[in-house]
Amino acid sequence: MEKTRSPADLIQSARAFQESRVLLTALELDVFTTLGEGATAAELSQRLGTDPRATEMLLNALVAVDALGKRDAVFRCTVESKALGPAQPGLLHMVHLWDTWSSLTECVKSGRAVRSRGPEGFPEARTRAFIAAMHARAQQSAQETVRLSGIRDAKRMLDVGGGSGAFSIAFAKACPELRAEILDLGAVVPLAEEYIHEAGLQSRVRVRPGDMRTAELGEGFDLVLLSAVCHMFSEDENRLLIRRCARALVRGGHLVIREFILQEDRTAPPHAALFALNMLVGTEHGNTYTESEYRTWMEDAGFATITRPDPEGDVLVGSKI
């Protein structure tokens, strides 16, 4: 049975950007941290260096969406909004996504991103915010990926486009003899090294600078991981990348792909269908793909016994013939 929504529901969804923008602006200005134990609009505008009238309007809107409380002209954070400060690294990444998503209409007309700029072109602050967001998001999913993969005896791992190193760290903790190598852009290397050092695994996990599209992957690995990588590329680019991963593996080695996986009609699950648009506005050829597409690419590259441990999950595991 098809799900239906009333016109009023759709209009409400169309207006949802207003509440989102209010919260994102509060995050950009660091309102929730700067408020401290409470302040009037005039006091906060002085601390932030913002216009007093506009600041009061923003604060009143934040009260209206239950992000702040107000009493006797003093604004205070709620229990929930106190958590929306610098301790939530993923939030600044959402601020950055606003600009690219604002170009969606132009992208649909042209068929490609109109403001695309890869991570190598990001300002340092944006790169740090992006990697921090990915690391925070990966804390739980990395452990789940390790569990679903069933791999506990890997000795050499290549983490292609491994970002913060969260997945290499999780596999290293699960496989006592594992030595992992992360391949990512030069700007990402020092950030990943911070997380690896924090985990105390600098002797077993190292980072190598390189562009996954062109760099030599190496050889002799018994585990290669592609986590949140394939959605950045076209079908042909993914076909080539998976072949290169196969060449980097020893016979019997495993390729683990963790990705948004669409149902065959490409309309569900909703987060995967929406993420396809995130790739449209943010990359040159990116998209989200179906299980059958991944299986075809893996089979063509020489992988056998391709499994999806959780039929509704985001992990595929293939063994090299």
Residue count of the chain: 321
Residue 237, C-beta contacts closer than 8 angstroms, at least 6 positions apart: 213, 285
- Rounded to whole angstroms, the Cα distance separating 68 from 288 reads 37
pLDDT tens track, the chain, 321 positions: 456 788 888 888 888 899 999 999 999 999 999 999 999 999 999 999 999 999 999 999 999 999 999 999 999 999 889 887 665 666 777 887 888 899 999 999 999 887 655 555 566 767 777 788 788 888 879 999 999 999 999 999 999 999 999 999 999 999 999 999 999 999 999 999 999 999 999 999 999 999 999 999 999 999 999 999 999 999 999 999 999 999 999 999 999 999 999 999 999 999 999 999 999 999 999 999 999 999 999 999 999 999 999 999 999 999 998
Both tokens assigned to 251: 């016979």
Residue 121 has a pLDDT of 55
Q: Which pTM was predicted?
A: 0.86
Burial 95-108 (b: 16+ CB within 10 A, else e): ebbeebbebeeebe
Query: Would you call 176 helix, strand, or coil by DSSP?
Result: coil
Q: Which long-range contacts (CB under 8 A, 24 or more apart) does 19-23 make?
A: 19/65, 21/98, 22/58, 22/61, 22/62, 22/65, 22/67, 23/62, 23/65, 23/67, 23/84
Residue 122 has a pLDDT of 62
Domains present along the chain, CATH in parentheses? 7-85 (1.10.10.10), 138-320 (3.40.50.150)
- Rounded to whole angstroms, the Cα distance separating 106 from 265 reads 25
